[in-house]
Structure 1
Amino acid sequence: MFQGKNFLKEIDFSREELEYLIDFSIHLKDLKKRGIPHEYMKGQNIALLFEKTSTRTRSAFTVAANDLGAAPEFLGANDIQLGKKESVEDTAIVLGSMFDGIEFRGFSQQMAEDLGKYAGVPVWNGLTDEWHPTQMIADYMTLKEEFGELAGRTLVYCGDGRNNVANSLLVTGAILGVNVTIASPKSLFPDEKLVKMAEEYAAKSGAKVTVTDDAVKAVENADALYADVWVSMGEEDKFEERVNLLKPYQINKELVSHIKGDYIFLHCLPAFHDTETKYGKDVAEKFGVEEMEVTDEVFRSPQARQFEQAENRMHSIKAIMAATNGNLFIPKV
């Protein structure tokens, strides 16, 4: 069921399978905290292919592989020839003959799919321009840890509604029975085909899918507020446009005051909540904006769970790798 399977996008898995991965992540986190070994992939070698840089994804895959008894090998953008001097198919065949599993973090979803098609070993998507499936297991794991159950909870995403995180949150939530609202400018609404897909999943799970440009109304019943950077990797030339367009969707004290009940704040990081980064300083100097998608006040508030969420990247990635390549006994789900 999981063994030998790729993890490339959420829609390749059933609700029961995604729920299993979330619960298994929580279990492995407990084992880690109690110092109980869980070397389900002892003796394996794992390739980590990174076209796009990362802090959390690289760290999470490295620590997860080590905890599982596997040896990770990092291959950065300057180390691989994917689609440049060597075809994806040829690269996949070679790496698949040497490694027991391959992580890919890059731009093209098709490249991830092709790696999975030709490698002959499990391929895990660490992020592409279309989907961010490993992030989703961590995100909904964090939500379940906080509230106990997922079904019927409401997650509200504020910002660029067409990026990979928004896509994945919308569809994964719909599969899991979580109500998901995307609050963004109309020009940045998710693709209509994606929304329709989410609505079809929601009809089966009982979830509600909402896309709106009214941030205040969107957050009223939120259990979780989610922010992401206003400018994704590869779109740095659009800073001014995005800053002006997305200011009304900033998660700040005024916006959260409209939430009727208790809530948590989530962010996949990095976050531009102050000017302690080069990007933050540049934006402040050029556009007079010292906080972008979330204010420092909300980022540091008691509701903030972004660092627990970040830690959960490691536990959830460990669960994904172990389930697909760890020879586990997993009852049919």
Structure 2
Amino acid sequence: MTSRETVAVVVVTHNRADLLVGMLDGLAAQTHAPDAVIVIDNGSTDHTADVLSQRVARDDLPLEVITQENLGGAGGFHRGVRTAYDRGFDRIWLMDDDVVPAPDCLAALMAVDEDCLIAVREDLSGVMVEKAAVEFDLRNPLAIRPKRSTVDSAYADRASMPPLVEVQNVAFEGFMVRSSVVAEIGFPDPAFFIFYDDVDFAVRARESGRHVWAVRDAVLVRQLDFNQQHDLSGWKGFYMYRNLFVVHLRHGENVLVRLKPWLITLAVVLLSPVRGGRAEARNVIRAMASARGMRRVSDPARPPR
């Protein structure tokens, strides 16, 4: 019975202490209480440690805090999922520090007997902003961006959705996975550092034969606006390019799709005099060189033995 399954929440945080307070308040208010809340503090230098110590003293959550150097979101989720898996929890619910679950969010997820689920995000005004891809195209070499459509582009609002919508990628904001999946496909890959670790994990799950379902009635409220536009000539741009390339190299369904990273690199370099400049050109060249060494899942992310 799904109601008897245990569930651990994994929260990754870095220098967002004030947002973390609301996130933890939301977990404490759940009608289905989590069995564990594992917070990975990724080397925060603000007052995150004070927030967490005060929360432990309140004793309103089964809270465990793990502090590590900043290994990026990917390193944080890897550590948290591995900890939850090693402790033997049946399901693992991944959460960022800038979202707040509605009180019945966890209950709605636990009521669905599927291996991979996501809560459906909305903004502070109640508008659905779920960016998980309904179609993530790793087959068509002419698709400039693999994310072809999203939940919030396919449905006008939450009310127009069916109870379950199949999606092809996820964000680690409200994603729930059964430990049996982790046992088969492994852990989130810390080598990504930031960006696309969640996409890679979802594609690996789908390649194992699992389906990923967005649960209409599981409401997750995002506290910040989406900012998916990053300076491609800066340090985040390197990871955006590299990790997008890695997803294509690992999971491209044909040779032409796996060649796309080289074509994108060439295009960016050729266009650099009129857009992006030398810094972006250097970034994309470095990204391509690094991605070539990441064609396989890194050793720490491989299935447990």
TM-score where L is the length of structure 1: 0.26
Tell me the TM-score normalized by structure 2.
0.28
Higher strand share: 2
Please identify which structure carries the higher helix content: 1
